[in-house]
Structure formats: structure tokens, C-alpha cells
Structure 1
């Protein structure tokens, strides 16, 4: 989409890019000034999910909303060059965070982390890896905490987690999105 089309869709933010080693380009929103607020989206959303919150907070806070690699405006490298695993997502977020602190002047402490779905798991791992970085947490519909002892993942998610063919199907098609939309 062009900047004009994005603005017309309620997403009037200037694009920012971080180039990861290996060539993956990650898009992120960086709006406002003040204490940093990191907004991490889930699956299958992107930083567009946070557009109203960013517009409401950017007058008092520095709002940073990355698009995970392969989502939103970020690049979509093939799986030979990017694994799309939880650990890869954490590595991507750590690199982006380091870039923001070292090259974009974002504070290295006192962030507010707002995380939804998959972003909660990744964001909590980032917070644990970087003591002092996150001061406040807002967790929305996420599994960023231990599951109850007797909890079992739904069958579809167990298939994706435990079988390479199912994971490949999800990564190469819209099957997950279609199934979630139908069920939701």
C-alpha cells in the first residue's frame, strides 16, 4: 500500500525500517516523545491493530509498534532465510530493541510493554532477557505465562506444533487465518 492509502485507512504514520542480518527488513512505527511504549501485535495482525492507541498516546509517550517479520509492512523472506519460530521472533525483537536504544535514542529502561496474543509470549521473553527494560506490562489475550498443569492445546494447534507438514501448511497458506475466522 502507498502512504496515501495507509493514511486513508487510518494509519497515518511515517514508516521506519530496520534491516536485520541476512536481509530481512522489519517495519515499525515510532511516534511521539516521552517514556517508551512498545506495542507488540499477535497473529495474524500487524501494527495497524494499534493505530488508535498510538494516536491517543503519542502526545505523551513514544509509541513503538513493530510488524513481525512476514507480517504487516515487514519483509517476507522465505523459510530458507528466516525460520519464523518463536526464538527467531525473539531474536528479531531483541535486535530491533538494541537498534532503537543504540541508534534511535530510546531509553534503555522503563518501557511499558503492551502485548497481544503471540506478542505477549515474545514480549515477556524480551523482558525476562533484559531486566529493567520493562517497567509496566499490559497483556491482552496471550499465553505469556505458564499453562495450567492439565491444559491441552486445541487439536489444530497441537498439529501445528508437533507436525512439520502442518506447520508448513500454515506458513505457506492462509489456512490458519481462514479457520480462525470461521471459528471466531
Structure 2
């Protein structure tokens, strides 16, 4: 593996000190993980909250949650390899199993324990991969429009039904068949708004120049889009591997306090397919349905989500 000192600075697309007009005022931290530099925010003290983003976002998605929770908790928000302020190595694959491996090393290196997972989008299966490997390090599980695979028998069927009607997944499969998936996602610097909108947020007042710059800048060149391409391409090729789970581990995790907060206008991860899977995995879990809130629920309803999480953390 490459030593990070030999990796070109061009593998970073955002300056480590960039605040996007002080909408991201958090001190940057970096840790070398599997040959690349992973960026993360580490704010506050107390019980650990580990927030995991998905496609095509980065830690910026949790900016309001960090501000709300870091007064009483230690909030840690990493950027996955190829996203946000983390490096984008050119010689790696960007599949689910890669992100699970990276997150595991990150958590072990920081020796994080008593973790409350907050997961969005593909942060869900990445976080659940960590939980399956290290259930003793997990205290609570919170899904914010993020799947929570835990060996449920209906998982594959739900994924197929969702993929058949989801605009985002339908586009992925068609673009892959036409051979244009990498070309289009390689231009995320220019088409990030249409990509985010296809996945879905309902509050168009979010769209300011600063907001767009925050989500555009990680994908400055085609070389910086390998993370986004790898996640989409992995679905088209069936290359993602969900973490296998033994019955005893699934049972242990199923007893953890669990909360699903779901934007019900989510067309990317449709609630009728994924909320039943959450209930299967966590029979005693709580579900809060947010009407009129889209896939990027943490953008549409950050205040409401923060209040729900604060209340849940008292359990």
C-alpha cells in the first residue's frame, strides 16, 4: 500500500481548512487508513456519536447535527474514502466491503467504544458492517434514511423492488447498460444539483451558492469522483457485499436500542421497502416518520431530527 507521504496533493479536492462561508466551522482531523488519509470531525466530549454519510454527500450533511449534539456528546463524522475532505486514491475499489474495512480500522485506531451510530444512505450498510464485526462497541443504532441490513431474509427482495421503481437506481442501471455511468458521474462538479435532486430533498430553499459549492467541491475533477462512481457501479455490477452475520450476533444487535427516522418522501430508499426491514432487525426499535421530507432528511428537517435524536440518547 502507498504511504500517504507519496500521494499527490491532487488526491484531495478540498482544502483542509475550507469552511464554506463558515457553514462548516469544524477543525479538520486526518488519520491514515489503509493507505489513504481519512478526514474526520471530532467535536465535543462524552458518549461517542459516529455519523456516517452516503452518496453523493460527505460529513457536511451532518453539520447541523454536530452543532446540536456536540455540547453534550463526542460527535465524530468521518468522510468515506473518495468523499469530502478524505483522499481519493486512484488504485482502489470503492465497494461496500472496502468502506466497512476502512471504518473498522478507523474505529479500532481511535479505540471508540459505547458508540451510537447515526447512518444515512450507504452509511447504513457500512455502519451495520462495523456493528456486526464489533457488536460490543455499539450502544445504540440510529437510521436516518439509511438501510440497516442484519441478515434479514427479505433484504434482497426489498432491494430489487426498490431498485425497479427508484429514479436513482433506475438511472444507474440504464446508464451502466448504455456505458455512460462513469462519464456522467465523472462530471459531478457540474451536475451535482441534478444528482442530489434525483435522489431527493424537498426544501428547495437549501439551494444557495455556498450549499452548492459545499457539495460540488469534493468532485472537482473526474479523478475525484471515484467514490461516487464506485458506489453506483457496484450496484450495477452486483459487486457490493453486505457483511455476513451469525445468528448469535444478529440477536445481540437486535436488542440494542434502535431508532429509525425516515423521510417519507424518499424515492431513493422507499419507506415501504426499508422500514419493514428495520422492524425485522430491531423488533423493539422505534420509528419516526417525517411526512414531506425526502431522502436527504438531514437537509430537509435537521432541527426535528436533532430533537428526536437528543430524546433518544437519554435512553
Q: TM (normalized to structure 2)?
A: 0.49
C-alpha distance in 2, partners of 1:157/1:20? Answer: 29
Q: 1:6 aligns with which of 9, 14, 19?
A: 19
Q: 2:186 aligns with which of 169, 172, 177?
A: 172
Partner of 1:82: 92
Partner of 1:62: 74
Q: Is 1:32 aligned to residue 44 of structure 2?
A: yes
Structure of higher RCO (CA pairs closer than 8 Å, 6+ residues apart): 2
**Secondary structure, counterpart of 2:88 in structure 1:** coil
Structure 2: give runs of 5+ residues left out of the alignment.
1-14, 150-154, 164-168, 201-315
The 8 Å contact of residues 59 and 79 in structure 2, kept in 1 or not, is answered as yes
**Secondary structure, counterpart of 2:135 in structure 1:** coil
The structure with the largest helix share of the pair is 2
Q: Is 1:151 aligned to residue 161 of structure 2?
A: yes
User: Kindly tell me: are residues 144 and 69 of structure 1, through their superposed partners in 2, closer, same or farther at Cα, counting changes over 3 Å?
Assistant: same
Partner of 1:44: 56
The 8 Å contact of residues 45 and 70 in structure 2, kept in 1 or not, is answered as yes
User: Kindly tell me: are residues 147 and 176 of structure 1, through their superposed partners in 2, closer, same or farther at Cα, counting changes over 3 Å?
Assistant: farther
C-alpha distance in 2, partners of 1:95/1:120? Answer: 17
Offset, 1:179: 4.8
**Secondary structure, counterpart of 2:126 in structure 1:** helix
The 8 Å contact of residues 16 and 28 in structure 2, kept in 1 or not, is answered as no
Q: 1:93 aligns with which of 94, 97, 103?
A: 103
Offset, 1:144: 2.5
List per-residue Cα deviations over 1:10-69 (Å, max 9, x = no partner).
Answer: 2111111111233x1110001111110000011111111111111111121111000011
C-alpha distance in 2, partners of 1:176/1:152? Answer: 24
Q: Is 1:16 aligned to residue 26 of structure 2?
A: no
- The count of corresponding residues between Structure 1 and Structure 2 is 173
The 8 Å contact of residues 116 and 141 in structure 2, kept in 1 or not, is answered as yes
Partner of 2:116: 112
Over aligned residues, Cα RMSD in angstroms? 2.6
The 8 Å contact of residues 56 and 196 in structure 2, kept in 1 or not, is answered as no
**1:118-129 to 2 correspondences below 5 Å:** 118-129=122-133
The 8 Å contact of residues 121 and 144 in structure 1, kept in 2 or not, is answered as yes
Partner of 1:142: 146
Offset, 1:8: 3.1
The structure with the largest strand share of the pair is 1
